[in-house]
Amino acid sequence: MRGSLALLQGKGVTTLTVCVAGSFTGDRAVRAYTTSPLFTGKPIPVIGRFSLAGGSLKIPDTARNPRGLALEFELPKNNIHHFTMLNVPVFGAATPSSFYDGVIANTPDPATGKPDPEKVSSYKASHPDAQALGEYLAKNNPVSSYANSDFFSVHTFKFINKNNKTTLVKWRFIPHDGVKRLSDDELKATPTRFLDQDIMARTQAGPVRWNMVLVIGEPGDEQNNSTVYWPSNREEIKAGILTLSSASLQQGGACEKINFDPLVMAQGVAPSNDPVLLFRSPAYADSYAKRITGH
Ligand code: HEM
């Protein structure tokens, strides 16, 4: 890590996203919960994208913002399934309108280049749903590498098995190399752009892996509010291994033309009624169209 950080200094790397490719092998034990073809024990090709929330070139890789990992699983018979995850366990808004209020309150004032502190504090006071994410980001320094980041489903999903039984689930991906965060001193010394070059160097040196862990919900667990995490004693099972073996800058890469809509899913998995999850699909379609056409 240190070596690759030093290499980057002064290179002026300005991309914010990187395409990755590899495979996912889902554990057959998960078939007790879902008929999803993700969990057959056979490797499934994956195309993905790492990103830094916010999508602006002005946001440095050291920002206390979530990082994203979006995956497209290329299933048999031309089926696809998406996981569009963040490296935080909860979201900062229970509803789309609360998210919108947060965007407005945190938009920099053109005169100062910074959000208006009064607007930010009145937003915080009136939006308790933003508190859990705010506390998590304040307590957990940004990760030192995408390869050392965990990633969470954030939302609750429904797994449906061959007997039509529905189980509420969340999941997270745990890096084999461990979760590693920048220290306060490293945060001050680290170049503003390092995440993309780092993951390209890491995958060139060898495959980078994560375990998928499935968290099994219990009846009555919150399913429609992604600002609330479940109690820590929920059953967890290992659900598979993600192996990423190559990474390249997004421009011209395999992920560039993918809209990682989180509602793209194959059989055996269904969305909860979380209003934020349901809102994401049309929002991503709109943003994707603008991104691809340059408007
Ligand atoms: C109302 C809430 C939300 C809105 C309006 C929103 C909006 C967006 C938009 C417009 C994009 C860019 C899509 C594109 O151009 O392809 C995006 C990307 C992304 N969002 Fe959200 N989002 C919301 C909630 C969430 C939540 C809860 C998560 C947590 C898992 C999340 C994770 C991501 C990730 C990982 C990306 C990057 C995906 C990629 O690489 O294509 N978002 N979001």
DSSP letters for the chain:
-HHHHHHHTTS-----EEEEEEEEEE-GGGGGT---TT-SSS-EEEEEEEEETT--TTS-TTSSS-EEEEEEEE-GGG-EEEEEEESSSS-S-SSHHHHHHHHHHTSPPTTTSS--HHHHHHHHHH-GGGHHHHHHHHHSPPBS-GGG--EE--S-EEEE-TT--EEEEEEEEEETT---B--HHHHHHS-S--HHHHHHHHHHHS-EEEEEEEEEP-TT---S-TTSPPPTTS-EEEEEEEEEEEEEESTTSTTTT----TT---TTEEE---HHHHHHHHHHHHHHHHHHHT-
pLDDT of 123 reads 96
pLDDT of 166 reads 97
Ligand 1 centroid–CA 88 distance in Å is: 13
Confidence class for position 282, pLDDT limits 50, 70, 90:
very high
Q: In Å, how far are 170, 173, 229 from 205, measured between CA atoms?
A: 31, 21, 36
Q: CB within 8 A of 228, min separation 6: which ones?
A: 90, 132, 222
- Ligand 1 within 6 A of 52 CB? no
- How wide is the angle at C-alpha 100 spanned by C-alphas 69 and 271, nearest 5°? 50
**Ligand 1 pocket mutation, candidates 280, 281, 288, 292, criterion most atoms within 8 A of CB:** 280
- Ligand 1 within 6 A of 68 CB? yes
Rounded Cα distance between 105 and 71, Å, is 31
pLDDT of 252 reads 87
**Ligand 1 pocket mutation, candidates 84, 98, 261, 274, criterion most atoms within 8 A of CB:** 84
Ligand 1 centroid–CA 51 distance in Å is: 10
Q: Of the ranges 50-64, 156-170, 228-242, which one carries the lowest mean pLDDT score?
A: 50-64
- Ligand 1 within 6 A of 288 CB? yes
- Average pLDDT over all residues of the chain: 92
**pLDDT tens-digit readout, 96-130:** 999 999 999 999 898 998 999 999 999 999 999 99
Confidence class for position 55, pLDDT limits 50, 70, 90:
low
Share of the chain above pLDDT 90, in %: 82
Ligand 1 centroid–CA 277 distance in Å is: 10
Q: Of the ranges 7-21, 42-56, 166-180, 253-267, which one carries the lowest mean pLDDT score?
A: 7-21
The domain made up of 7-293 is a member of CATH 3.40.920.10? no
Query: What is the per-residue burial (b if ≥16 Cβ within 10 Å, else e) of 172-201?
Result: bbbbeeeeeebeeebbeebbbbbbbbbbbb
- Ligand 1 within 6 A of 90 CB? no
Ligand 1 centroid–CA 120 distance in Å is: 22
- How wide is the angle at C-alpha 14 spanned by C-alphas 84 and 291, nearest 5°? 50
Rounded Cα distance between 217 and 231, Å, is 9
- What is the residue extent of each domain of the chain? 7-293
Nearest CA owner, ligand 1 atom 43? 284
Q: Which DSSP string do the residues of 231-262 spell out, in sequence order? A: PTTS-EEEEEEEEEEEEEESTTSTTTT----T
**pLDDT tens-digit readout, 270-279:** 999 999 999 9
Ligand 1 centroid–CA 12 distance in Å is: 26
Average pLDDT over residues 172-198: 94
Confidence class for position 59, pLDDT limits 50, 70, 90:
confident
Nearest CA owner, ligand 1 atom 30? 85
pLDDT at 154 over 90: yes
Q: Name the amino acid, one letter, at 39.
A: F
- Ligand 1 within 6 A of 85 CB? yes
Higher pLDDT, 142 or 294: 142
Length of the chain: 295
Average pLDDT over residues 209-236: 97
Rounded Cα distance between 96 and 245, Å, is 36
pLDDT of 13 reads 37
